[in-house]
Each structure stands twice: as structure tokens, then as C-alpha cells.
Amino acid sequence: MSESADRFRQTQALLAQIRSAPSLVVLPSPADSQRVLNAPVDDQFLAQAFPTESRLLGRNEAPEYEVRARLSELEIAFHSQRIERLFSDTRRSALQAIAGPFGVGKMLSAYDKTGGVVDTIHNARAGVYATDEAEQKYADRGEYTKRVKENYHHRDPAYKKMSQDSTRDRVEGKVTDAYTGEQMSSQRSDSHSIDHVIAAEEIHNDAGRVLAGLDGVELANASTNLQITSYSTNSAMGTKTATEYVLWLEQTKDTRAMKQAKLQAKVDAGEPMSQKQKDELAKLKEQEKIAANPEPLLEADRKARAANEKKINDAYYRSPKFRNDCLKTSVAAGGRAAFQSAMGAILVELFAGIFDEVSDWYKNGRADGNSIFAELKRRLRKVGLRVAKQWKAVLSAAAGSFLSGFLANLVTVLTNAFLTTAKRTVRMIREGGNALVGACKALIVRPEGMGIREGLHEASKVLVGGGIIVGGVLLEDAVSKSMMAVPFLVPFADTATAVIVGAATGIISTMAVYLVDKADVLSVNRSKMLAGINSDLDASLLHQRAIEASLLEQFKAL
């Protein structure tokens, strides 16, 4: 603005100087006047000095309709450039979608596995293993035989100590049933039972415990997993979990009520009863108490399982082996992702170069004197040079994808700690991570001169495109199954699926990105358009000012 103002002031000063300067006019002779009148007119000079669209040396404003027409012309030109860029991006995106996620990425997906490439406790319990070593370790745990059961019970020092201590405390009247809250008999001849809240057999066969490398006997006989209850309750529960036992009590309440009423009737009538019947009645009464208030049993189960899970998770997820597995597989995943992006970028430039050369050959033909072989060689060399010039873009794509692949593998491991991912889900996480890293890169590592608003606009386009690619990976499965249903397409199903879904995904993602760009929620494009219009108008003004300055100098010299 200051430069334009300076130029304007200089022009006005020059005009003022011309107007105020004294001039001595010498009238020509009649003969000279006649010679000038008979001389040819210099139309070029007049057109330059007095253009029809210029207000040369004047101060009149242009009509409003001319201003609107000029602005409309510049706006149309701006949008035309965007449309041309759209078609160019559409072709490039289609090539990139085929060569990247559905080309090289399809080949690299052979490394993807259901549940990821790092063993997790959740997956192990679901029977899904990333390594043969972990799977074999579980197979070698041994069956829960009677001999093994003895190791979990009467042969374990912790179990035996609690049995002895609880017997002494019960005789002294200090023990209550953990599941009913009632005082237990203090008669030495009576008995009680030490219950494994989480059944010893369940702990022995727990794949998570085996994966963590913990001793089952030690876990089963931890103080948080041992509770004092009656022998009949412990026997009735068997290997049922607390939840299963409470549900069983609910399902059998009518049957138990009938049995209890029948036995109680005998007691009330004074009829003789066998010891077995007395024990049965006592058991039914205990079960009724637990059924009426199952919370002590369920609470003991929750606490025992929480403590058990913490020990297993701490032992495995904090182990050097798990950390090393995560690091090693993440580096490998990052390397594969970097290779995918680098090869994708090379293939995109290669295909684009080939298409352009074929198109040019068709339009302009061969160079003079070239044979078909020589022309082909010349054009292939041009394509090779074009690809070679993209080495910076290839390295940049590889670096960004390495980071996204590294992070995607960690996300996959974290996800599999809670739920088992399908093989295709692993690929979706990788492609989604690539889009996320790209969006962060567009937002954080912005080119010079790009503001935060423009960065957010570009990041939103990257995320939309990445989301559609993730959807394309999901769609790929349905398309592949449909093609496999047609017998003669079976040999080409994978290739055809990659091409069809890849091209469709590329085109749709480009159109979606264009719509996001056109929506212009952050008014980025409008700002660009106004800046472009201002730039064009400034250029036109500078050109006109240069003409005016030249003419003024000529008038000044007269």
C-alpha cells in the first residue's frame, strides 16, 4: 500500500510540475502547418497515449458495471484454476490409491494378522496368538489332574497355613462365614472349608496367567483369593464362578424351596432324619441365605479378580519381553509403511509420467527422424528423469509413513489389550494412522506464510481423504467376496478388487476433499481468492502506471 501511495504522489507531483511550468509556444509557419496536416497519422502513438479503457491523467472513477465485470472475470478465473487442479488431483489420487493402500499396501497386508503381531493377555484368553512360542507355552501347561489339584490345595504352604490358622480362630469364636456373614461353629469336631474364590482349575488354565509366566499355585493361594466358608457351600460351588453360582441359585430356587419345605416338615413333625438329610437341610438353608443376599460373595469375587488381573497385567505388560516385542514390531511396521509410501510415490509419478508421454506422443507424434524404438527410449528416459526428480517427495513420504506405521502398530497392540482386532482392522488402523499423521503434519509443519487457519483447512482435507480410504479397505472385503462368487473371476479377484476399489476410493476421496474445500468453513479459499484478485489488480495498476509515467515523461520533454 505504501509503494502505491508513493507512486501516486510522484505522479501527482509530476502532473503539477507540468501544469505549473511556464511554456513558450512558437507558432509554426503556414508552410509547416500545412506539412503537418498532410503527414500520416501515427495511430499506434495515439492508441498508447489515449487508450479507450484508461482514465489517463484523469481523476474520473470507473463505472460500477466495469468494476463488477472485472471482479467477476477474476473470480471466474480463480475457480477455473481450482477445477483444473481438481481434475489433475483426481487422476493423481486415483493412481495413488491404487499404487498405495490397494497396491503396495495390499502386498504388505500379508504381514497383518488377526490380533496384531504382539501377544496380549486378552487375545491369549481368546485363543489368538501372535507367536508360535506363546501358543506352545500354553499347550505345555499340563492338564488339571488330581495330582495337580493337590499342589493347589493341601500341598501348598500358604493354603495349609491358612487352614491351620482358621481352625484355631474358629475354635476361639473369631471366624465368620465370608459369604453369609454368620458366626461359624466353635466346636472342634465341626469343620469349615477354605474356598478359592477364583477356582484353582480356572487359574491353572488361564491363558493370560501362562502368557505372563506366573505360577498358578501362588496366584490361586494368594490371600485375596482365599475365603473361609462352609464345606457344603464350597462343595456346591465347585468350579462355578460367583456370578455363575448366583445365577444357578436363581434358576433352582423353586426346586430347592420344595426340598427344603419337605425336609423342614419332617423336623417340625418330629420324624427321625438321617445325617445325610440333616446335612442337606443345612446346605439348603445356607444356599437360601446366599441367594437372599449374594453381594458378599460377589464382592469377594470382584476383589479377588481385580487383584489377580493386576498381578497378571503387571507381570506381562511391564516385562522387558513385552517392551522389546512392541519396539521391534513397531519398527518393522514403520519400515513397511515407509516402503509402501515410497513405492507408492514412485509408482504414482511413474504412471503419471507414462500417461503424459503417451498422450503427448499421440498428439504430437515422434520427434523428427526418430524410429519407434528411439522415440520410446527417449520418452522412457524422460519418465525416468521425472521420477528421479521426486526423490525429496519420496523421502518425505517415507519418513512420515514410518512414524504413522510405528504409531499404528502401538495403537494396534493397545487395542488388542482390550479387544481382538481382525486382520483387515489392523490395515485400517495403519491407513487411519497415516491420515492422522498427515493431518498433524499439515497443521504443525506448515509451509512458510501459511497460518493456523489454512493449516486446519488442509488438515481437515487430509482426514476426510484418509477416512474414505479406511472405508475403502472395509469395502474391499465385500467386493472381493462378490468377485469370488463368479467362477471365471476367481483367478483375478484380488487384482481386480484392488484396482476397482482403489480407483473408486481415489476418485471419491478427491471429490470429497473438493467438497470440503468448496464448503470453505474457515473462509480460507475466499481469502485466497481476494488475495489473488488484489494481486491481479495490483499488477494491472502497475502496468497502467508505467504507461502513464512514460507518457508523462514524453509530455514533459515537449
Residue 45 domain-assigned (yes or no): no
Same domain, 359 and 488: yes
Q: Bigger pLDDT: 73 or 218?
A: 218
Q: Does the residue 126 lie in any domain?
A: no
**The predicted structure's pLDDT at residue 203:** 93
The pLDDT value recorded for residue 56 is: 43
302/447 same-domain check: no
Reported as a pLDDT band with limits 50, 70 and 90, residue 443 is low
Is residue 12 one of the residues assigned to a domain? no
How high is the pLDDT of residue 54?
Answer: 45
Asked if residue 332 is part of any domain, the answer here is yes
Q: What is the largest CA-CA distance in the chain?
A: 162
Reduced to 3 states, what is the DSSP secondary structure of residue 172?
coil
Residue, of 163 and 463, whose pLDDT is higher: 163
Residue 170 shares a structural domain with residue 277: yes
Model pLDDT, residue 207: 93
pLDDT of residue 74: 63
Rounded to two decimals, the pTM is 0.63
Question: 226, 159 in Cβ contact below 8 A?
Answer: yes
Residue 236 or 352, more confident? 236
Q: 365 with 460, same domain?
A: yes
pLDDT at 429: 66
Mean pLDDT in residue range 432-445: 64
Q: Which pLDDT does position 358 carry in this prediction?
A: 80
pLDDT of residue 348: 75
Residue 248: which pLDDT band, with cuts at 50, 70 and 90? very high
Domain assignment present for 497: yes
Can you give the pLDDT at residue 225?
Answer: 93
Last residue in a domain, options 266, 296, 318: 318
pLDDT-above-70 percentage for the chain: 63
The larger pLDDT score, comparing residue 234 to residue 480, is at: 234
pLDDT at position 310 is 93
* Unique residue bearing C-alpha cell 486382520: 423
Name the more confident of 128 and 3.
128
Could you tell me if 390 and 489 lie in one domain? Answer: yes
Mean pLDDT value across the chain: 77
For residue 493, what are the domain limits? 83-120+321-522
CB-based burial of residue 34 (10 Å sphere; 0-12 exposed, 13-18 middle, 19+ buried)? exposed
75: pLDDT strictly greater than 60? yes
Per the model's pLDDT, the better-predicted residue between 249 and 338 turns out to be: 249
| 501 has pLDDT over 90 | no
Residue 181 lies in a domain: yes
Residue 405 half-sphere exposure toward CB, CA atoms < 13 A = 27
pLDDT mean over 542-546 = 71
pLDDT of amino acid 53:
47
- One domain, residues 312 and 326: no
Instruction: Based on the fold, state whether residues 276 and 366 are members of the same structural domain.
Output: no
What pLDDT sits at residue 380?
85
**155 shares a domain with 99:** no
Is 341 in the same domain as 428?
Answer: yes
Q: Percent of the chain at pLDDT above 90?
A: 18
pLDDT at 1 over 50: no
- The top-scoring range by mean pLDDT among 118-127, 261-270, 330-339, 437-446 is 118-127
Highest averaged pLDDT of the listed ranges 64-68, 115-119, 220-224, 534-538: 220-224
DSSP 244-276: HHHHHHHHTHHHHHHHHHHHHHHHHHT----HH
Cβ contact 279:232 at 8 Å: yes
CB atoms within 10 A of CB 339: 17
348 vs 514 pLDDT, higher one = 348
For residues 338 and 462, membership in a common domain is answered with yes
Contact (Cβ atoms closer than 8 angstroms) between residue 387 and residue 412: no
Confirm whether 423 is domain-assigned: yes
Contacts of 472 (CB under 8 A, 6+ apart): 97, 101, 102, 501, 502, 504, 505, 508
Pick 402 or 525 by higher pLDDT: 402
Which residues are paired to 176 by β-bridges? 183
Mean pLDDT of 436-450: 64
Rounded distance, CA 62 to CA 525, Å?
Answer: 28
The pLDDT tens digits for 292-315 are 999 999 999 999 999 999 999 999
- 249 and 341 assigned to the same domain: no
> What span, in angstroms and rounded, lies between the C-alpha atoms of 260 and 444?
74
User: Distance between CA atoms of 317 and 68, rounded to whole angstroms?
Assistant: 68
Note the pLDDT of residue 427.
Answer: 63
Do 506 and 448 fall within a single domain? yes
In the block, which residue shows the cell 506366573?
214
531 lies in some domain: no
Number of domains within the chain: 2
229, 178 in Cβ contact below 8 A? yes
The grid coordinates listed for 125 are 484368553
